[in-house]
Amino acid sequence: MQLNNYIDHTNLKPVANQQDIINLCKEAKEHLFYAVCVNGCYVKLAGEALKGSKVKIAAVIGFPLGAMDTGSKIFEAKECIANGADEIDMVINIGELKDGNLKFVEDEISEIKKAIGTKILKVIIETCYLDDDEKRAACTCALKASADFVKTSTGFGNGGATPEDVKIMKSIVGDKMQIKASGGIKDRKTAEKYIELGASRLGTSSGISLITT
């Protein structure tokens, strides 16, 4: 299994500096990872560092809490695309979901998808804060809103991806959407397990060790 084709090589740390992002991009090019995943302020820098390569740029918005207003998320998404991002990883409004305001959640995802046009939208539902019914509801919202992926986690919550979460997500989205497992994926065995369960992308800061051990 060519794991490099599944990996979003990630550095979203608050202390990440320009050299860290340049190094991230260098590693992504060297190991032919699918994408790098960075905060919005580093999209332009990543574009410069990846010039001439096939590595995609994924940018996070509404990160990591998802609790800002929809207009701010849309603005952030548009800025990231204008600066060269190929994909957007957005965090849903978890509070609205837990209040049962599914229309709000679906509409927000839909508006962001419309704002970025043909670019890829991944919807982070932050499974560690949700019960199973809420996970199913979040996936249904993303599906109805025509997003491209559902994603387990930001990596900043109190837990990351689990096999059970990926199974639940797959049961809702089937082959209509893709799944990104992220958070706590640090070894090859775990990575391969998520792919077997239906994940087509892995978000990890341990990409190099995944493909070399």
- Catalytic, 89? Answer yes
Annotated active-site residue in 56, 122, 151, 165: 151
Annotated active-site residue in 89, 113, 135, 165: 89
> pTM for this structure?
0.97
Half-sphere exposure of 122 (CA within 13 A, CB side): 29
Region 189-210: mean pLDDT is: 96
Using CA atoms, how far residue 26 sits from 11, 35, 186, in Å, is 13, 12, 20
Q: Write out the two tokens for 150.
A: 């559902």
Three-point CA angle 9, 110, 151, nearest 5°? 30
- Catalytic, 29? Answer no
What pLDDT, on the 0 to 100 scale, is given for residue 80? 98
Annotated active-site residue in 29, 56, 122, 180: 180
Region label for 86, one of left (φ > 0), alpha (ψ between -120 and 50) or beta (otherwise): alpha
CATH number, domain 3-212, options 1.20.1630.10, 3.20.20.70, 3.40.1390.10, 3.30.413.10: 3.20.20.70
Region 119-141: mean pLDDT is: 98
Region 18-29: mean pLDDT is: 98
Give me the phi and psi of 62, to 5 degrees please.
Answer: 60, 35
- Catalytic, 99? Answer no
